[in-house]
Amino acid sequence: MHWRKFNGENIQLPIKKAVEEAIKKERAHGTKLKVCIGTDSQVKGADTEFATVIVFLREHNGGFMYIHNEKTKQKFHIKERMLLEVAKSIEVAYELCDLFIAWDVEMEVHADINTNPGFKSNDALKEAMGYILGMGFAFKAKPEAFASSCCADKVVN
């Protein structure tokens, strides 16, 4: 997977190593971190693009994020696409969770799924929540799911 920073700078290290280095650097400055992982997608013509973000929140002091984009020509129904977004977030969370445990960093997985039944994405809410909670991760949906609905949303090309 190819990751970059918000400023466009490529992350050369494997993502797990880059996240660990970021945690060490922030801890050296006495910063308490919280991490939120989320994915958003957009369909443009024949392409579906996914953006997954790892958002690092510094307690009382802003934050930063790492971004991974990928495109596919595969067609998805809305529910399938919502659950694939969640699967992409869980894949990253699972790869990194032992780091967060070791460094005592709180982590949430955010789903870009509306809690209002009037929205199509709501069809995937129960499955997404069960998937995330079943993996042992904290879960947030819209409107609290800013990592997916705001951060990832801004970096889907």
pLDDT category of residue 120 using cuts at 50, 70 and 90: confident
Domains and CATH numbers, the chain: 4-155 (3.30.420)
pLDDT digits (tens, 9 = 90+) for 89-116: 999 999 999 999 999 999 999 999 999 9
Report the C-alpha gap between 91 and 79 in whole angstroms.
18
The pLDDT of residue 157: 72
Q: Which of 19-33, 89-103, 121-135 has the lowest mean pLDDT?
A: 121-135
Integer angstrom CA distances of residue 56 from 95, 105, 120: 16, 10, 29
Average pLDDT over residues 138-155: 92
Mean pLDDT, rounded, of the chain? 95
**What mean pLDDT do residues 63-82 have?**
95
Percent of the chain topping pLDDT 90: 89
65 neighbors 3 (Cβ within 8 angstroms): no
pLDDT confidence of residue 86: 97
Q: Using the predicted structure, report yes or no on whether residue 129 has a pLDDT greater than 80.
A: yes
Note the pLDDT tens digit of each residue in 48-67.
Answer: 999 999 999 999 999 999 99
